A = this chain, B = another copy of it.
Amino acid sequence: MKYIITVFISLSFFFNTSSQTPEEVVKSIFDNALTDNTAEEHLLYLCKNTKGRIPGSGQALHAVRYTMQALIDAGADTVWLQEVPVPHWERGEESAILRSELGTLELTISALGLSVATSTGGVNARLVEVHNFDELREIGRKGIEGKIVFFNRPVDNTLINTFAGYGGAVNQRVSGASEAAKYGALAVIVRSPTQAMHDFSHTGVVRYQENIPEIPAVSVSPHDAEILSRWIMKDPDSMLQLVSECRNYPDTISYNVIGEIRGSKNPGEYITVGGHLDAWDISEGAHDDGGGCVQAIETIRMFQELGIKPKRNIRAVMFMNEEMTSTGGQVYASEAEKNGEKHYAALESDRGVMSPLGFGFGNAGDNRLDKLFELEKYFRPYGIRYFARGGGGSDISPLIRFNTLQIGYIPDTQRYFWFHHSANDTFEQVNIREMQLGSAAIASLIYLIDLYDL
């Protein structure tokens, strides 16, 4: 099933950029991004009216309909949907109550995405705290069987690269359940992987290994992880009653949303700009990744409004199901292959929408990289100076098979993990000016890459 809507654009007949220098075009993009309200309206709508839009949810379909219309309004020549198979998982009632000599404490938790539920009445068991999988092995089945494993390795806050910090802790969330189940654990409770010390729990996907019992997995807020650790130390017989009534349903169908501007000279070639439309059910998905979607829509809007006529087809893509099983990106690449499309470059914005630092470039040879790095001069007036080797994103990575240039949008991520995958990722946490500096940077880069055939 494929919906096609063709839109006739009149505005762009009246303006075009052919008489402007590239510097002037870039300036017009930044000026527009910093003074237009459309992006703020889109983000507000996605956050407040499609909150909790995990793959397979009605909210995700609502977001599909909304962004489809947004792309039409932005002036895309063609807007359509791409069917994407997605998991259907729903959070249920959940609670974690710690009982010990010290008293009773309710912890702030979130079931991990795709986790199995606890059985009726929940799990009620002692805890064993570990910091990595080696410790599991050292403790062994004797110390773990029949218990709840508490993974409590914090993010290393001294790492300046916050994604490196996150990456150093997140295996507890992704793989901890199966690792603990190998030793007979009943469930796992995982410290939220974040640099923040606060009361929000951060969810994310858990992946079960085959042929290992699937046990319930939840995350706990960093504050409560600290308390939990202290209480267990003082009273090793502390009992945790863990209830999580989440449920996995059969896979269902959702959609990638695509808006395209037809290229004027290289009609077989494509440049993709994308974010992912799905977001965690406990969040508004503002930074992750409503903002990235809005930036992609903005690229279309500004190209049309400013009369920028690209040589290649420019596509804004709202990928579905990045967070759970990344099928949106796979479908997009498969369809491209079927249609014999030549994918020249692809950019993903999925690191939050704080102030732009620059871009990372992957899947490019030294010669191409050198030319791309020269573009930095166009961005210097806007304080954007980070042009680095290596970059991309999970939704555009399946395009690597076409030798497509991979571009990752890189904002200042120092505060990103205060929001990521949590109820703290709200519209109010986005500064629209910062997001729009990013929209302008992205649209400008796409314009320049297309203009100079980089």
Partner of A433 from the list B35, B195, B434 (CB cut-off 8 Å) is B195
With A and B bound together, what is the CA distance between A437 and B355 in angstroms?
16
Interchain CB contact under 8 A, B35 and A157: yes
Interface size class of A (residues with CB under 8 A): 20 to 34
With A and B bound together, what is the CA distance between A295 and B216 in angstroms?
44
Chain B residues with CB under 8 Å of A158's CB are 30-31, 34-35
Interchain CB contact under 8 A, A433 and B160: no
Give chain B nearest CB distance to A10 CB in angstroms.
26
Contacts A355-B412, A412-B355, A433-B195; A34 near B418 (Cβ below 8 A):
no
Q: Which of A243-251, A257-265, A333-341, A380-388 is found at the contact surface with chain B? A: A380-388
Closest to A30 in B: B158
Contact with B along A353-392 (1 / 0, CB 8 A): 0010100000000000000000000000111010000000
With A and B bound together, what is the CA distance between A36 and B25 in angstroms?
46
Closest to A159 in B: B34
Contact with B along A112-125 (1 / 0, CB 8 A): 00000000000000
Give chain B nearest CB distance to A356 CB in angstroms.
9
A414 within 8 A of B: yes
Chain B residues with CB under 8 Å of A31's CB are 158
- Enumerate A400-454 residues with CB–CB distance to B below 8 Å: 412, 414-415, 418, 431, 433-434, 437
With A and B bound together, what is the CA distance between A418 and B414 in angstroms?
19
Contacts A355-B414, A412-B355, A412-B412; A160 near B381 (Cβ below 8 A):
yes
With A and B bound together, what is the CA distance between A213 and B414 in angstroms?
50
Partner of A382 from the list B157, B160, B412, B437 (CB cut-off 8 Å) is B160
Partner of A383 from the list B160, B195, B383, B437 (CB cut-off 8 Å) is B160
Contact with B along A146-158 (1 / 0, CB 8 A): 0000000000011
Give chain B nearest CB distance to A120 CB in angstroms.
40
Interchain CB contact under 8 A, A414 and B437: yes
Chain B residues with CB under 8 Å of A157's CB are 34-35, 433
With A and B bound together, what is the CA distance between A195 and B432 in angstroms?
10
Closest to A431 in B: B415
Closest to A34 in B: B157
Closest to A357 in B: B383
Interchain CB contact under 8 A, B412 and A431: no
Closest to A198 in B: B432
- Extra contacts, 16 of them, besides A30-B158, A34-B158 (Cβ < 8 A), are A30-B160, A34-B157, A35-B157, A157-B433, A160-B383, A195-B433, A355-B355, A355-B415, A357-B383, A383-B412, A385-B385, A414-B431, A414-B433, A414-B434, A415-B433, A415-B434
